[in-house]
Structure 1
């Protein structure tokens, strides 16, 4: 379980580093394109193993996308990676506050949807 949690932490950090590097002007276009293709693969219904196949359909996404992100962070030029890592360190410092705020935002919207449906159906 510890290995899985450490892997998820590394994956999350690499994803944040990559997202910060995308905004840098010296990031190669092929890295941006491969990241866009990986995101499209993640949300696309067309996969190597379809998502309708129980467990195996999700496992291929869970293996391919982190591997691509890990490879792309290693492909970054050194000065871009240093810049992105400093920006990612600054961003992860506020991550718990952002997660709490996002959770509250989602809960308020869900509450408004339930309230609206309740008023629509029973009023």
Structure 2
């Protein structure tokens, strides 16, 4: 079972790298690039929308949302582009993934605003 999970995770990582390179390819339609950029940025983000320390929900985005996004995007991108990007993906997997600190900062900002909103509403309720 452990080997299947490791294989699945490695394949998911490989697909994210393929999408990373496909997003930069001029042969990909603009609407596919936008959706691909969102999926890749979220996957590379050092911070999750739902933090992993939240029981069960914390891993749902990693296990469900990212793979669903990948499946949708793979259908939007031409097969020739995917084939070309597979070679680049194998090469970068040896060197490690890039981090997207901009998306990470946006997610931190969103969580900060949610916390501030909650504090304000709790303060209003107590007064």
Task: Give the TM-score range, shorter chain.
Answer: 0.5 to 0.7
The alignment covers a number of residue pairs equal to 92
Q: What value does the CA root-mean-square deviation take over the aligned residues? A: 2.8
Which residue in the other structure is 1:90 paired with?
A: 91
**Within 1, Cα distance between the matches of 2:53 and 2:17?**
30
Structure with the greater alpha carbon radius of gyration: 1
**Within 1, Cα distance between the matches of 2:4 and 2:58?**
20
**Within 2, Cα distance between the matches of 1:2 and 1:52?**
22
The alpha-carbon deviation at position 36 of structure 1 amounts to 3.3
Please give the secondary structure, in 2, of the residue aligned with 1:73.
Answer: helix
Gapped regions of structure 2 (runs ≥ 5)? 99-127
TM-score relative to the length of structure 2: 0.58
Which residue in the other structure is 2:56 paired with?
A: 56
Gapped regions of structure 1 (runs ≥ 5)? 103-123
Which residue in the other structure is 1:71 paired with?
A: 72
Q: Summarize the Cα distance change of 1:44–1:54 in structure 2 as closer, same or farther, 3 Å threshold.
A: closer
TM-score relative to the length of structure 1: 0.59
